[in-house]
Amino acid sequence: MAKDLAIVLNSGSINSAVTTALAAQKHRLIMLHAEIAPQPGSRIRASYDQQVAHYKPYREHTLPMPFLAAVQPGTSPSSIASDPRISMATLAPQLLELIPLLSAAARYAAHYGAASIYLGLRIGGHGDELAQATEYIQIWNELLQLPCGQPELTIETPLLELEPWQVIDVGVQVSTPFERTWSCMDEGAEPCWACRGCRAREAAFMQAGKADPMKVVRRV
């Protein structure tokens, strides 16, 4: 097993960026991005590309998953699985949508002999939901180790128990490039700062007592 390699699922979101920064402290990165319906000029895709440029991974791959568009129109599994703007009331759909992503990540882990799979799933301090998500990840660990032939392969979810403001705090500590992330629900040239995603992002930075680089960049 190549213990220095780790697979990182990255959607271009804040959680993805912080998770990638944490993984980079221990491993060489292989970044994966799920693409359901390619859209020219997509801000999520652009944010992922910017993060690739920042982290300079050992390898990076786009995972074409157009079949998911037929069953979940207008929804991106990669963003649902790792974006703080999504309500925890959607825990079951989040876990369901992780299945194809984890399966693809496992295949790449087996190919590269990677030691870990990192994803930015965040639940926070919700007792029952946190327990369910923890059990789900434990089951997936057991499911993947045998077929991958890697008994030490682990799925790492470093943000699982954190609140959004704590993600920001950790991200600052590990020098996360927040200006290369996208939280807005729209695809405009600039964040709208009015949608649910923007409001959640703004609240997280405010509660953490940190300045959002996206706003600083916008004012310059």
What is the pLDDT, as a whole number, of residue 42?
A: 87
- Cα gap 94→78, rounded to integer Å: 9
What's the pLDDT score for residue 39? Answer: 78
User: Quick one: which of 96, 103, 45, 41 has its CA closest to 72?
Assistant: 96
Q: What is the pLDDT along the chain (220 residues), one digit of tens a residue?
A: 567 999 999 999 999 999 999 999 999 999 999 988 777 778 999 999 999 999 999 999 999 988 877 776 444 444 444 444 444 456 788 888 888 999 999 999 999 999 999 999 999 876 788 988 999 999 998 888 777 777 788 999 999 999 999 999 999 999 999 999 999 988 888 899 999 999 999 999 999 999 999 886 554 4
Task: Set out the domains of the chain in order of their start, with CATH numbers.
Answer: 2-163 (3.40.50.620)
Closest by alpha carbon to 94, among 155, 136, 38, 143? Answer: 136
User: In the chain, what is the straight-line distance between the N-terminal and C-terminal CA atoms, in Å?
Assistant: 46
DSSP string, 23-53: HHTTSEEEEEEEESS--TT-HHHHHHHHHHH
The pLDDT, as a whole number, for residue 82 is: 44
pLDDT at residue 80, as a whole number: 41
Distance (Å) of CA 158 to CA 186, 187, 215: 28, 28, 26
What is the distance between the alpha carbons of residues 162 and 139, in angstroms, rounded to a whole number? 21
Q: Measured between alpha carbons, how far is 205 from 165 in angstroms, rounded to an integer? A: 6
